């Protein structure tokens, strides 16, 4: 555990928040801060008494207030005050849902959030962008200074490392994105591909939207209710195919998404053979989201036809989710290592003034002793003077070696007491305020 220095001017990192695990949507939506209000809210938080730096992360699944506060305050009044005053939410209402992390645990939580290990869908990529937006806003309003700057930059590096070294985000876990992934396994790039929507359903529209985002060029819509088909076609800037002409025109599509409520199959095996023949064997991908199914599973046996129904897609999504959980374990190891490294670096930085102070003290003492012996050394030749200079330097360096090693080690272990003791022992003072010796 990182030790909190209580020296005047020292600070503590505190993270206070709620997320999808601790609070229901009714509570989260009361606390949510819209992007338009984020800058103002961050500024208001940063101006609370005792808060030196601040950042607010507000997404649909979490609201977190990351602050750097004066360490002298044992409670967290500034943040609670902000909740009361700015968001007008009584703290008593929130208390059961709030979590608070300090120092090491706050750093660890931030790294986990940025790496998407704390997300509802582990490995989802949006959270890193949201953390970056919060950081940018914090910087813009002047609420992010050196401590949060270093911490956030490290969090981004950790998140990138987790993405690169594990496969936590490599597989899709939603039905729509699984469909897109499968389509990419058939067509590689979806650019220029045509998608046919047969029937209207929320999930099929979502899948179509995903395919368009990935570059699919045109959408054809066939629905028994012509007006509904026209509405969907308008939404997607697509083209309506009369349902009666479905079989004549379906081969224009590379990807067919079916979601009708028809009690019997719409596409049979023979349709697949016919389509493939007209397409000169260019593959077709059928995504059958309907229950009961619209596409005869036998069509999957036709060379060039690939049929996936809702169960197939769900199985892939669930398997990917299990993969992500396994990868998350590896990611947790990376995060723990990075937290240790970050805190050690911070501690080493804390030791720098002590080391500098000790070195300056020793050098001043060496110079003073040389000046005192000046009259006795005046008969020496320049070469002999240089030798004496080198000798005193070497003696000083050798004498300092063990104390400096001890200081670094104490800093690495976060042992503030030993650090202060070593400083007092070797310089006669503490808090890096040692005065160099004067000539006697």
Partner 1 sequence: MSLLWLRVAVLLYAFASLAVLPAALYDRPRWRHIAIPATTAAIFFHFVSLVEMLNAAHHRLPVDTHEAQSFLSLVLAIAFLFIYGRYRAISLGIFLLPICFLLGLLPAFRPGEEATAFPHHLHAGWIFLHVALLLAAYAALFLSLLASLLYLVQERRLKKKSRGLTWLPALETTDQIALKTLLFGLPCMTAGLLIGTVIAQQTIGPTYFLDPKVLLSFAMWLAYVAMIFIRRHSGLRGRRAVYLSSFVFLVVLAVWAANQLSVVHRFAAP
Rule CB under 8 A: say whether 316 interacts with partner 1. Answer: yes
CB distance 204 to 221 below 8 Å = no
CB distance 258 to 286 below 8 Å = yes
Rule CB under 8 A: say whether 306 interacts with partner 1. Answer: yes
Crossing angle for the helix pair 416-427 and 310-372, to the nearest 10 degrees: 10
Strands 99-102 and 11-19: what pairing? antiparallel
DSSP for 12-35, written as a single string: EEEEEEEETTTS-HHHHHHH---H
Q: Of 101, 111, 236, 308, which lies in the binding site for partner 1, with binding defined by CB under 8 A?
A: 308
- Measure the CA–CA gap between 219 and 341, rounded to whole angstroms: 51
Q: Of 6, 126, 315, 373, which lies in the binding site for partner 1, with binding defined by CB under 8 A?
A: 315
DSSP 7: S
DSSP for 107-163, written as a single string: HHHHHHHHTTSSSSSTT-SHHHHHHHHHHHHHHHTT---HHHHHHHHHHHHHHHHHH
Annotated catalytic residue 60: yes
Number of residues this chain uses to bind partner 1 (CB under 8 A): 25
Shortest separation between residue 273's beta carbon and partner 1, angstroms: 14
Q: State whether the Cα torsion 262-264-270-272 is positive or negative.
A: positive
Part in contact with partner 1 (CB under 8 A); list of ranges 185-193, 214-222, 333-341, 403-411: 185-193
Rule CB under 8 A: say whether 283 interacts with partner 1. Answer: yes
- Measure the CA–CA gap between 3 and 6, rounded to whole angstroms: 9
- Measure the CA–CA gap between 365 and 140, rounded to whole angstroms: 47
Contact pattern from residue 145 through residue 184 relative to partner 1, giving x for each residue in contact according to CB under 8 A and a dash for the rest:
-------------------x--x--x-----------x-x
Kindly tell me which of 188 and 439 has the beta carbon lying closer to partner 1.
188
Instruction: Give, in degrees to the nearest 5, the angle at Cα 339 between 406 and 95.
Output: 120
Kindly tell me which of 90 and 297 has the beta carbon lying closer to partner 1.
297
CB distance 284 to 306 below 8 Å = yes
Part in contact with partner 1 (CB under 8 A); list of ranges 20-28, 278-286, 332-340, 409-417: 278-286
Rule CB under 8 A: say whether 318 interacts with partner 1. Answer: no
Rule CB under 8 A: say whether 187 interacts with partner 1. Answer: yes
Rule CB under 8 A: say whether 267 interacts with partner 1. Answer: no
Rule CB under 8 A: say whether 245 interacts with partner 1. Answer: no
Which of 7, 60, 352, 397 does the annotation list as catalytic? 60
Kindly tell me which of 319 and 333 has the beta carbon lying closer to partner 1.
319
Rule CB under 8 A: say whether 188 interacts with partner 1. Answer: yes
Q: Of 25, 60, 291, 319, which lies in the binding site for partner 1, with binding defined by CB under 8 A?
A: 319
Binding site for partner 1 (CB under 8 A): 164, 167, 170, 182, 184-189, 279-283, 300-301, 303-304, 306, 308, 312, 315-316, 319
Question: Catalytic residues, which ones?
Answer: 60
């Amino acid at each position: 555990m990182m030790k909190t220095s209580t020296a005047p001017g020292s600070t503590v990192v505190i993270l206070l928040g709620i997320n999808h695990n601790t609070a229901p949507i009714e509570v989260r939506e009361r606390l949510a801060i819209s992007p338009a209000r984020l800058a103002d809210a961050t500024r208001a938080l940063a101006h609370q008494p005792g808060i030196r730096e601040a950042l607010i992360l507000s997404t649909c699944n979490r609201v977190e207030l990351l602050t750097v506060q004066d360490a002298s305050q044992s409670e967290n009044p500034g943040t609670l005050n902000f909740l009361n005053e700015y968001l007008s939410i009584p703290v008593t209402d929130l208390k059961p849902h709030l979590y608070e992390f300090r120092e090491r645990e706050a750093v660890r939580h931030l790294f986990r959030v940025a790496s998407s290990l704390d997300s509802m869908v582990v490995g989802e990529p949006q959270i890193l962008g949201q953390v970056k937006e919060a950081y940018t806003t914090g910087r813009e309003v002047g609420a992010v200074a050196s401590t949060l700057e270093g911490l956030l930059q490290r969090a981004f590096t950790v998140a990138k490392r987790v993405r690169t070294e594990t496969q936590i985000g490599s597989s899709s876990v939603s039905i729509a994105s699984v469909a897109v992934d499968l389509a990419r396994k058939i067509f590689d790039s979806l650019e220029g591909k045509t998608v046919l929507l047969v029937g209207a359903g929320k999930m099929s529209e979502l899948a179509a939207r995903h395919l368009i985002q990935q570059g699919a060029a045109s959408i054809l819509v066939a629905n028994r209710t012509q007006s509904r088909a026209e509405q969907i076609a308008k939404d997607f800037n697509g083209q309506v195919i009369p349902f009666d002409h479905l079989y004549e025109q379906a081969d224009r599509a590379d990807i067919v998404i079916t979601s009708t409520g028809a009690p019997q199959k719409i596409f049979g095996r023979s349709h697949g053979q016919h389509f493939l023949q007209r397409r000169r064997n260019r593959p077709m991908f059928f995504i059958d989201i309907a229950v009961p199914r619209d596409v005869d599973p036998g069509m999957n046996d036709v060379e060039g036809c690939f049929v996936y129904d809702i169960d197939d897609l769900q199985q892939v999504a669930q398997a990917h989710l299990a993969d992500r959980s396994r990868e998350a374990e590896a990611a947790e190891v990376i995060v723990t290592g990075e937290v240790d490294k970050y805190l050690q670096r911070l501690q080493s930085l804390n030791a720098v003034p002590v080391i500098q102070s000790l070195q300056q003290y020793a050098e001043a003492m060496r110079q003073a002793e040389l000046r005192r012996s000046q009259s006795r050394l005046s008969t020496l030749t320049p070469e002999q003077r240089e030798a004496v200079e080198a000798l005193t330097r070497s003696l000083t360096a050798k004498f300092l070696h063990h104390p400096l090693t001890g200081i670094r080690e104490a800093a690495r272990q976060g042992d503030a007491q030993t650090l202060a003791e070593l400083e007092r022992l070797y310089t006669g003072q503490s808090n890096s305020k040692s005065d160099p010796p004067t000539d006697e």
